[in-house]
Amino acid sequence: MSNLLVARSDVGEFRKRYKWMALFATLAFLVVAGRLFQLQVLDGTEYSAVAHENIIRRVVLPTTRGVVRDANGKVLASSRPSYDVEVIPGRVMPSARPVRYRNGQPVARDPDSWPRLADILRLNPEERRTFEARIHAACASDDDKSPCWKTPVLVREDVPRDIVAELKQHTDELGGVDIVGVPMRFYPYKELGAHMLGYVAEIDAQTLARYRPPGYDEMARDEQQRVNPLGYEGGDTVGATGIEHAWESYLRGQRGWEKRVVDARGRYRTGPEAERLVDAPGKLDPIPGRDLRLSVDVELEQAIDKAMRPHAAGAVVAVDVRTGRLLALYSKPSFDPNDLSGGEGRARVREAFNRLYADPLRPMLDKTMSGAFQPGSTMKPFSALAALEDHMVDPEHTEKCEGFVVFGHRVMRCSHVHGPVRLQQAIARSCNVYFWHLAETVGMDRIAKVALAFGLGQKTGLGINPEAPGRIPTRSWYSLRYRGNFRIGFTLNMAIGEGDVTVTPLQLAMAYAALGNGGTLYQPQVVRAVETSDGAVVQEFPPRIRRQVELHPENLKRVTDALFDVVNDPNGTAYSARDPSLDVAGKTGTAQTGYVAKKDDEPKLAWFLTQNHAWFAALAPARAPEVALAVLVEHGGSGPEIAVPVAMQIVREYERLQSIHLGHAPSAKSPPPAKTGKPAGGRP
Amino acid sequence: MRLRSADPGVLARVREHFDWSLFIVVAALAVVGVINLYSATSVARGSHADDYIQQIYWLVGGGILATLVAAIDYRHYERLGYALYGAGVILLLLVFILGREIRGSSRWIYIGSYSFQPSEFMKLFLVIALAKYLHDDPKAEGRTLRDLLAPALITAVPTALVMLQPDLGTGLILVLVFVSICALTNVQTRSVVALGIAGAVLAPVFWSYGLRGYQNERIQAWLNPNENILGYNWDPHQARIAVGNGGWFGQGFMKGSQNQFLFLHEQHSDFPFPVYSEEWGFVGSIALVALYAFLVLWCVRVASSAKDRFGAVLAVGVGSIVFWHAVFNLGMVTGLLPVVGVTLPLFSYGGSSVMTVLIGVGLVMNVSMRRYYASPTRPTPLLGGL
């Protein structure tokens, strides 16, 4: 032993140390206790919230978009279930992720479920490669915010039901595969009325940015509600055009949510133990979108489609003369909104858009209101009214039509040599010479005043698609345009609806409806009522008068008599094409388009585009009009020959439908008794 | 040698000298530990579901061993000190030959269907060896670095072997046990200063070259507690949430959502405390910390009343094992320290760990019970020395 002075049992060396050791140990445990105080008492609430967040997931409860029905309850737009297959890259193909280590040892990864999925979906080798490349790209890194976990990859849209069943059967082997039920908009009548109904599409970035401005996620819930009352999110389906777009806020409905308990592996837990952990409120029921009841009759639309079958392009508007409610809005050529609403995948949508926008007949244009055309002779009743109202013309005065007239050094030709004609005959026979003389006397601005009073050249405010205003030119408009070089020719052209005059078929139909009802210009309406999903009426829209046109009844009668003669006088322009069984009045029009063929035009198309527009604006029945029609056959040629037969066929079908519906569904006359506030009871 | 167990006086003396405080605090920890293990593994299906029953077996077996260890006069261990130490080192070497690799390190030796972890028992053997050395090397004046060389070597050999497994946690504990025992002795001030400087110089070197990749990752994770939460920070992050979720009084037994909904991992081995803390709250946690603190302080107290140097070092050594385990584990699950695989004594599941702690407690009990008599020249067998 090195030190024999000290006994082995002498513990003196240690004696001074014990209290320091005790102090050190006590301090160490006090630090731990202090940390526990911090975590559990000071920050306890915060950590509890995090722990709660860990296990509570807010699951969105989808809403259903409202159904659009026609006047007789036929469904025009509804939603059908559709299933998309999405995969979480990191879970469907764990082998694509970088290897993770735990305690220095690679962590075992689950087997890939991707090959099984690819088999069930019957993906071809090229598709497989494409998706595999995307998954690998997404999983280049696998940290928390990597697309490997956060961004599902859409593999198939609108998967057939038998494959859905197969996928559900093999859920256990298909980790990371989600079958997402998406309500898909469905338009059973396809092209028919497509412009009016519109279509739905995924919300675009700009619109979304308006509803979700930067910093939206940090806003308080009230503020979010204010900025984005309908709760738009990326990837949402919204109405893109037509009624779907204009009535979006009614149709959309409000999403709900439900708090569900999940474990760390993302599995839902149920039972009383789990429910105990859900804090109130645990659920917000979704509000289904409102249904719309239109004034349009889809059977009338079908009849119009049939009548327009021989013609390539055109538009028809039918309006109830007594209410301004639209009975039909028809634009040709049309498109199938099912293609554009993503029914069969995004590729299909792209392909459809490319096809539609390449078509020279402009199928995407709603010609009833977004297209403006020269009205031709359908303008004449308004020129006549301008003359009569201001006593500029004696209606009994005759003008001799020699088939042409010379103004200055220009020769302008009439359609026939009409001989001596009075005002009424000039309308019935559509004598341009008479109206040129009339225009000379009356002047441009008087005619414009009456035309504008009847709503021509102005937006009607229907609001379902962008409206073309059209144009009723005035002297001041010309002086701006031609720097004061006003020519009498402008006035002459205007009186017969040529030159710079343009109107939309909707405007013309509304104006003729006003002629038919004694001068009341209605606001056109297409939605009759808003209903809940169980059929109770929430809101009804009574007819709205835009203005009462001040007219002397005897002047109006002269004009409407002339419209009667157009069809029913043997010299009337529509006489030969009339249907003797029908009681129709109206005015034909053959409008020059002023199209000048360009060099690189396809010859056939160029020929087509130089053809006149064929018009017929009709009222039926002639003596007590119910319906006003504006029929436009684009580049169809002669109004009497082309447009009149179409209108006759439509009127015939209208009468037939009226006689059928009159018995049990007085839809066009008086609305069914309102049931506001009574959700129960169903449909009458 | 005649056994004197028939002597009716012996049992009376055992009863008289029995250290009830030590027994009760350890029994309390064991019972609470098993209850907590039941809750912690209640969510585990399959392999770990019956761990708490196995843990009871280990506790009973460990209790019997501890009783035996306590019965034999500890001065026998003093005589056998280096032999036990040698056996421990050989077992550590055997690990490299017989051990199977589990999750990147070989720590276990398999005997039939049982396995044990020599590195756990090594902690006790190291304490015994150091106690033996200090017992044989009494000094009146301060110890120099040269005097500490031999005990340092005694520590270095098993530490190196454990680090090679690799098992950073146990290696760390071995070093800290050595430091704790040194702290008991009268080391010269300038030696302490020199050691401090050496430590300060060597630490960065160790940091750069001594740590394995995943150990560096863990330290990085600890320094940035809000990053990589799905990776290395998952366990400490979720553990901290569980502890915080306990609040004042806890969520109730078997009602901790962090555990019940599988956010905690390793809750049977390194992370049993968050389970306990979430269920019993601040009040329960402080009670548990108090139990550990009491056990450690009690060991120091036993050491201070030990009748010889060997006994004193033994008690301090066992106390330091418990202390460092408890502080490191609690520190790690509350985010005070990086994650090192250090078990919570009597709370973590594991036969080797439980037995080591209980045998250690048996040693302390041994020292405590034999503190009243003047040291005879020769140790007495079994219940002798009481």
- Whether A489 shows a pLDDT value over 70: the answer reads yes
Maximum distance among all alpha carbons in chain B? Answer: 67
What is the C-alpha separation between B81 and B129, in angstroms, rounded?
5
Residue A224 Cα to chain centre, angstroms: 26
pLDDT at A291: 95
Phi, psi of A203 (to 5 degrees): -60, 135
Residue with tokens 């019970």: B369
Q: Which residues contact B186 (CB under 8 A, 6 or more apart)?
A: A13, A16, A17, B139, B141, B142, B143
Q: Which residue of A has its CA nearest to B302?
A: A18
How do beta strands A585-591 and A613-620 pair?
antiparallel
Q: What is the pLDDT of residues A35-55, one digit of tens each?
A: 999 999 999 999 999 888 888
Token duo for residue B384:
């002798």
Q: What is the pLDDT of residues B149-197, one digit of tens each?
A: 999 999 999 999 998 888 888 999 999 999 999 998 888 888 889 888 9
Interchain pair B184, A14: CB under 8 A:
yes
pLDDT at B226: 81
pLDDT at A255: 86
pLDDT tier, B326 (very low <50, low <70, confident <90, very high otherwise) = very high
Q: With the CA atoms of A339, A345, A346 and A348 taken in that order, what torsion angle do they form, in degrees rounded to the nearest 10?
A: -50
**3-state SS assignment for residue A237:** strand
Between A25 and A152, the higher pLDDT residue? A25
Q: What is the pLDDT of residues A612-631, one digit of tens each?
A: 999 999 998 998 999 999 99
What percentage of chain B has pLDDT greater than the value 90? 50
**3-state SS assignment for residue A577:** helix
Q: Identify whether the C-beta of residue A387 lies closer than 8 Å to the C-beta of residue A393.
A: yes
Q: How far is A58 from chain B (nearest CA, A)?
A: 17
Mean pLDDT computed over A135-154: 78
* B78: nearest Cα among B363, B383, B384: B363
- Cis peptide before A621, with omega less than 30 degrees from 0? yes
Query: Sign of torsion, CA A160 A161 A167 A170?
Result: negative
Q: With the CA atoms of B141, B147, B151 and B153 taken in that order, what torsion angle do they form, in degrees rounded to the nearest 10?
A: 170
Q: Which of B140, B306, B323 lies closest to A11 in CB terms?
A: B306
Interchain pair A36, B261: CB under 8 A:
no
Token duo for residue A583:
């009681």
- Whether A102 shows a pLDDT value over 70: the answer reads no
- Whether B366 shows a pLDDT value over 90: the answer reads yes
What is the C-alpha separation between A291 and A69, in angstroms, rounded?
8
pLDDT at B333: 92
How do beta strands A256-262 and A283-284 pair?
antiparallel
Q: How far is A16 from chain B (nearest CA, A)?
A: 8
Residue B25 vs residues B19, B291, B292, B298, B364: alpha-carbon distances, Å: 10, 6, 8, 10, 13
Interchain pair A47, B231: CB under 8 A:
no
What is the C-alpha separation between B90 and B104, in angstroms, rounded?
22
Token duo for residue A192:
């028919």
Q: How far is B6 from chain A (nearest CA, A)?
A: 30
Q: Identify whether the C-beta of residue B315 lies closer than 8 Å to the C-beta of residue B367.
A: yes
Q: Identify whether the C-beta of residue B273 lies closer than 8 Å to the C-beta of residue B333.
A: yes
Residue A267: CB atoms within 10 A of its CB come to 10
From chain B, pick out residues whose CB is under 8 angstroms from the CB of A21.
Answer: 180, 183-184, 300, 316
Q: DSSP code of A597? A: -
Q: DSSP code of A99? A: P
- Whether A593 shows a pLDDT value over 80: the answer reads yes
How many A-B residue pairs are in contact by the CB < 8 A criterion?
195
Q: Which of residues 25-54 of A touch B (CB under 8 A)?
A: 25-26, 28-29, 31-33, 35-37, 39-41, 43-48, 50-52, 54
Q: Average model confidence (pLDDT) for chain B?
A: 87
Q: What is the pLDDT of residues A303-351, one digit of tens each?
A: 999 999 999 999 999 999 999 999 999 999 999 998 888 766 677 788 8
Interchain pair B244, A50: CB under 8 A:
yes
- Whether A143 shows a pLDDT value over 80: the answer reads no
From chain B, pick out residues whose CB is under 8 angstroms from the CB of A57.
Answer: none
What is the C-alpha separation between B321 and B304, in angstroms, rounded?
17
Q: Identify whether the C-beta of residue B386 lies closer than 8 Å to the C-beta of residue B6.
A: no
What is the C-alpha separation between B318 and B302, in angstroms, rounded?
11
Query: Sign of torsion, CA B81 B82 B87 B88?
Result: positive
Between B189 and A675, the higher pLDDT residue? B189
Q: What is the pLDDT of residues A225-244, one digit of tens each?
A: 888 888 888 878 899 999 99
Residue with tokens 């004034």: A295
How do beta strands A419-421 and A520-522 pair?
unpaired
Q: Which helix (H) or strand (E) holds A180?
A: strand A177-186
Q: Where are the alpha helices (DSSP H) in B18-50?
A: 20-41
What is the C-alpha separation between B143 and B191, in angstroms, rounded?
8
Which residues are paired to B187 by β-bridges? B143
